[in-house]
Structure 1
Amino acid sequence: MPSTVPDHGPFPQQELLAVRTPEVKERADAARNRNAVLAAAARLFSEKGVDGVSMDAVAAAAGVGKGTLFRRFTDRAGLAMALLDERERELQEKILRGPAPLGPDAEPRARLRAFAAAYLDYVRAHADLVRLSETGTPGARYRIGAYAFWHLHVKLLLAHREDAEADAHTLLAALAAEHVIAMTDRIGADRLAASLAGMIDGLYGASRSTS
């Protein structure tokens, strides 16, 4: 796959390549163990729910030692992050090279609305795993490698704002799994999506004058 991305739009997409979720490259035997662990974890999480599965159970189901499992993944949140890696890369690839409005051939407001909608779909499709990856330890969400990608993407799309960095963090807070799950139950997915789209429109409508 090419190492470059199209630079359409108001900012260079190349900046995002440095923080995208990397593909895991390892020896064949390590890859086999990793795949066995992730397959076992996915099956157990699906059968028992993420709160009903222990690291000991995953190790036993995968046929690996507990020490190996903990060294590789640390805890259940680490397992959740590993299971989400491929889904994150798929969404990031659509942002980097996909069609508009999520991809680069669209104006910033449309891209940001498309990102919010796509990320909502991603969270709802993998709600328990995303929540576990974000809340396994205090502040885990902000240490996840993918968060750096999402934040930079949103910040670049909000480059017209006086404090795009802070605005990007604030918008992403509304996309945290705990919030999305709770608000989907409380007000419904459609109202949540419409509210986020309105917030994004406000970020552009209330933009600082560049004159």
Structure 2
Amino acid sequence: MDVPFGKPPVERADAARNREALLCTAREMIAELGTEKVTMDGLAERACLGKGTVFRRFGTRAGIFRALLDAEERCFQNEVLTGAPPLGPGADPIDRLIAYGRERTVFLLARHDIARAAIERKGAVPAGGPVFTQPHIRMLIGQAGLGLSDLDTLAFQLTSALEGPPLLFLAMDPADAEQRAESCQGDLPTLLADGWQALIERLARR
């Protein structure tokens, strides 16, 4: 049985439509202009909604990007819970664990700019999605029957190994992060995903 991630709060129909319209518009603006050019005023104007509606919905500019991340996080989690194996149910637990780490790495790094924009100026760097990741990993290593003790601590350590590198990348100065990505010839997601797979295969003694 997989770990549920809960249901989003119920919204009025008009509020839900406005929210989806704003998120769709924000995605279009990011694709065309990049995250730096997305502003509260610009989003309201392009979505043909009042500026007050945008502020009530998101609170701050960073809130726009947090809402985007939340929506995409729910889609990712839904794929884990109901999608095709090996990411979804039906595969060997170790194969699912490897698939989860590989997909999660790509997911986090592909949204690096949005995650950076989601940080409030005086806020801390967000810790990613361990609320879902840690119990999911705990469930899979339990199902694998590896004969290991203290699976809770192991799940915590594996979550750190998986969510930590993208988080450190996020916390870097943007220029340093870009230089690091270039030094990996643009293949940083593959390098991190391969490292995750090697770690899990060593743990499972494959």
Compute the TM-score of the two structures, normalised by the length of structure 1.
0.71
Give, in angstroms, the shift of residue 31 of structure 1. Answer: 2.1
Q: How does 1:16-165 map to 2 (within 5 A)?
A: 16-17=3-4, 19-20=5-6, 22-23=7-8, 25-133=10-118, 135-136=119-120, 138-139=123-124, 141-142=126-127, 146-159=129-142, 160=148, 162=150, 163-165=153-155
The match for 1:178 among 165, 170, 180 is 170
Greater displacement, 49-58 / 122-131: 122-131
Equivalenced residues, count: 187
Structure 2 alignment gaps of length 5 or more: 143-147
Alpha-carbon deviations, 1:140-194, whole Å to 9, x = none?
523x7x5411232123334445313431441221243627966543322332321
Tell me: CA distance 1:203–1:75, structure 2 relative to 1, closer, same or farther (3 Å): farther
Give, in angstroms, the shift of residue 125 of structure 1. Answer: 3.9
Alignment root-mean-square deviation, CA: 3.0
Please give the alpha-carbon distance, in whole angstroms, between the structure 2 residues aligned to 1:157 and 1:195: 19
Tell me the amino acid that sits aligned with residue 39 of structure 2: S
Query: Percent identity at matched positions?
Result: 31
- Partners of 1:119 and 1:175 within 8 A in 2: no
Please give the alpha-carbon distance, in whole angstroms, between the structure 1 residues aligned to 2:171 and 2:192: 10
Matched, 1:196 2:204: no
Compute the TM-score of the two structures, normalised by the length of structure 2.
0.73
Please give the alpha-carbon distance, in whole angstroms, between the structure 2 residues aligned to 1:161 and 1:111: 21
Please give the alpha-carbon distance, in whole angstroms, between the structure 1 residues aligned to 2:130 and 2:156: 14
Alpha-carbon deviations, 1:5-30, whole Å to 9, x = none?
xx3xxxxx2xx21x34x346422221
Please give the alpha-carbon distance, in whole angstroms, between the structure 2 residues aligned to 1:58 and 1:129: 15
Please give the alpha-carbon distance, in whole angstroms, between the structure 2 residues aligned to 1:109 and 1:184: 29
Please give the alpha-carbon distance, in whole angstroms, between the structure 1 residues aligned to 2:204 and 2:171: 23
Tell me: CA distance 1:98–1:61, structure 2 relative to 1, closer, same or farther (3 Å): closer
Structure 1 alignment gaps of length 5 or more: 1-6, 8-12, 206-211
Tell me the amino acid that sits aligned with residue 156 of structure 2: A
